[in-house]
Amino acid sequence: MKTAFLFAGQGSQVIGMGKDLAAAFPTAQARVAQADQILGYPLSQIAFEGPEDQLTRTENAQPAIYLVSWIAMELLQERVPGLKADATAGLSLGEFTALAAAGVMTFEDGLRVVRARGRFMHEACEATRGGMAAIIGLDEAPTREVCEATGVTLANLNCPGQIVISGELDRIPAAIEAAKAKGAKRAIPLTVAGAYHSPLMQSAQPRLAAELQSIPLQSPHVPVIANVTAQPHGSPTEIARLLVDQVTQPVRWEESIRCLLAQGFTRFIELGPGTALTGFLKRIDKTATVLNVADVASLDATAKALGAA
């Protein structure tokens, strides 16, 4: 059975994430302490206790999700010796976790990069007036027509019947109405700081490119599916380029999962807070085995399902 590790993206953060894992397992506690030391501020306190307005800030949410996702992976591999990923993938921010898990960058470098990425994206949000909306029950082709007609862009192609659009805040209401007119079951504005995965994020790109140039990148040990292409990443140079492109390009998540399914993957393990990726996968392929690790209870359940003693 071919196993893929999947890593959560921004929006999955919740106050208290990782707290019970850190309390129960020395490995997790050590990672938490290491992350706080690397970043020079109490990231874990924000993740465990809030306040919510601090955790939802992009510059905190991204490293916090990365940290909890990494801890979930490490603890599962402790509980199930010999468990390894045959491929990895991650949604937006989660792509960095997926690359680190595949040996492209160290845990430490990945943490620093996602903190910087979060800061760059936060500043891009503050410099623009952007918004996003979820379009439910409308296929990609008519959603593209909506985008072209209203001057917004596709941001996330998550699963059948769920697409997210992004663009200037003033254009979002018209896009919502146009989507409903095309037959969308629902079209709802999202509570976000800005227009992620749209051209409004361009100011973050050169800064992220410089950040990536400052760390060594290796070739992945296993295939890592790129958000931008929905195909396996190539050389370290190509990886860096695609991570920069990803800031303004749509996340092709459904295609990424279908790429893995076509390669014979039948077991997927979502690692990190929330179960959004599990939900997407069940809508993409109901026959696939999907497990997740977000806390002690789900760690126990997944370890048991994988046959751990």
Residues that are catalytic = 92, 197
The 3-state DSSP class for residue 177 equals helix
The CA distance from 112 to 99, in Å, is 14
**β-strand partners of 162:** 136, 159
Nearest to 158 by CA among 254, 243, 71, 223: 254
Which residues, 6+ apart, have CB-to-CB distance to 57 below 8 Å? 118, 122, 193
Longest CA pairwise span in the chain (Å): 57
CA dihedral over 121, 195, 133, 160, signed as positive or negative = negative
Nearest to 152 by CA among 125, 124, 133, 128: 133
Helices (H), 214-305: 236-246, 253-262, 276-284, 296-305
Tokens of 184: 């969308």
Which residues, 6+ apart, have CB-to-CB distance to 28 below 8 Å? 18, 21, 22, 71, 74, 75
160, 164, 203, 246 from 172: Cα distances, Å: 21, 11, 21, 21
